[in-house]
Structure 1
Amino acid sequence: MKGKTALITGGAARLGATTVRHLHAAGAAVVIHYRRSAAKAEALRDELLGTRPHSAALVQGDLNDPDCWPRLIAAAVELDGGLDILINNASSYYPTPIAEATTAQWDDLFGSNARAPFFLAQAAATELRRRRGCIVNMVDIHAERPNANHPIYCMAKAANAMMVKALARDLAPEVRVNGVAPGAALWPDGYMEDAAKQEILKRIPLGRPAGAEQIAQAVMFMVTGPDYITGQILAVDGGRSVQQ
């Protein structure tokens, strides 16, 4: 991937940071977007620059702010002359029980999971077409199978999944668009009791959650694998999506 530039939203921590490291190790220059995780973003950038100068840059921004989208693309062009890979990773995730859901939650969840990825793809389209690049969206198996008490999130991810298919059609033949749909993976700290986690694991044929490495490897497959794949969403869920 030497000579290619990747932009990863939400790239400072957790899955985003793991994906950044994989892309960088493969030779790509990386633009790391973050919103609040400044210390983690700066540490990651410095780590990468320590192994290869002029190969990483940071952009802070709120993806719900339209002014952020062109700044991200401009940062990629400034870093290495263009943009080859867009990873729409950033995502809000929290429960919204029907009786308690608010319009602010709707705007936030649809903003981060559907609106921002779409308009960031729009902003990137010219560069991606010029460089015959690709987009990978982080979807979720719950785009098809709703998660209890998370209706807005699941609906937003369903929109994200359709975006993969629609953009794959509309940006072809120059740009490939695919998605990765994790199952149980990287629960936020304190988000769920251990007993509840164990109940979920019982429904996974492989009997364990995914780690950041497994998800990042799937993203890398979509980026570097066969260039005849587009419009597809790869479930990385230990078989949960086929469990009755």
Structure 2
Amino acid sequence: MASSQPVVLITGGARGIGRGIAERLVGDGWRAVIADRQKPVGLLPLPHRFVEGDVSDEADVAGLVAGIATGEGRLDALICNAGFMIRKPLEALSLAEWQSVLGTNLTSTFLLARAAAPLLRQAKGAIVTIASTRAHQSEPNTESYAASKGGILALTHALAVSLGPDIRVNAVSPGWIDTHGGALSEEDHAQHPAGRVGRVEDIASLVAWLVGPDSGFVTGSEFVVDGGMTRKMIYAE
């Protein structure tokens, strides 16, 4: 029997930004299917179902979506949030490491969108990909991560054109988001034109809008959420 609530699949949802999105959407009345390679620490928001798996693996993704089809009976939104970084000098970065980052960050988005498209099409649903401001600017030794996030932006607008009008697809590119609740300095906050480092709730609130009815004319777009940092000229003095 299909769920009476709208259903969202959130990858990388056991912690950080993904967990914050889950908490926001569950609070808004959604049922969440939360997928992650690592089990969550502490309790996740209810109602939810947690699935342990690797979204860079085609079989795991197929099983994940099949489980939603039989268990929840519907899928209204897909949040492609799973991702990680390997920070290593280019000459020391192995091909296997490069491929592991692109597999989790980028290829998973393709696999998930392909597998979930039939359910999302039935629901006239939405996909939100989580990219990064690192698709536009970089620190040293982050080639695989930057490439994966840049690829997500291109894949997002390609999916929007291919899957529209039934499915809307948009990207959110976070800047510095405090996901650990650690000590931050006044300088950390003050360097942002918005006056502070970002919070998980900043991303979650935008995602909630993008999967909701008020964003029905929005697709193929990137939303940069970085407190204005990528608009700030920075020169060494």
TM superposition score normalised by structure 1: 0.87
Aligned to 1:109, what secondary structure does the other structure show?
Answer: helix
Q: Secondary structure at the match of 1:99?
A: helix
In structure 2, the partner of 1:241 is 230
Partner of 2:99, secondary structure, is helix
Separation in structure 2 between the aligned mates of residue 76 and residue 97 of structure 1, nearest angstrom: 40
Q: 1:212 aligns with which of 200, 203, 220?
A: 200
Aligned to 1:129: 121
Gapped regions of structure 2 (runs ≥ 5): none
Match of 2:18 in 1: 16
Q: What is residue 134 of structure 2 aligned with on the other side?
A: 142
Task: Quote the offset at 1:234 in angstroms.
Answer: 0.6
Secondary structure, aligned partner of 2:70: helix
Q: Cα distance 1:148–1:194, how it changes in 2: closer, same or farther (>3 A)? A: farther
Deviant stretches of 4+, over 4 Å: 187-190, 200-203
Choose from 70, 82, 96 the match for 2:74.
82
Answer whether contact 1:92 1:108 (CA < 8 A) is retained.
Answer: no
Change (3 A) 1:194 1:26: closer
| Residue in structure 2 matched with residue 51 of structure 1 by the alignment | none
Matched-pair contact (CA < 8 Å) for 2:16–2:179: no
> Relative to total residues, which structure has the larger helix share, 1 or 2?
1
Q: Please give the root-mean-square deviation of Cα atoms over the aligned residues, in Å.
A: 2.2
Identical positions, percent: 32
Residue 34 of structure 2 corresponds to residue 32 of structure 1: yes
Per the normalisation by structure 2, the TM-score is 0.89
Among 9, 15, 22, the residue aligned to 1:7: 9
What are the superposed Cα offsets for residues 52-71 of structure 1, whole Å, 9 maximum, x if unpaired? xxx32111101222111112
Count of equivalent residues: 230
The answer to whether the 8 Å contact 1:84/1:128 transfers is yes
Of 76, 90, 108 in structure 1, the residue corresponding to residue 100 of structure 2 is 108
Structure 1 CA distance for aligned equivalents of residues 206 and 218 of structure 2: 13
Cross-structure match for 1:180: 172
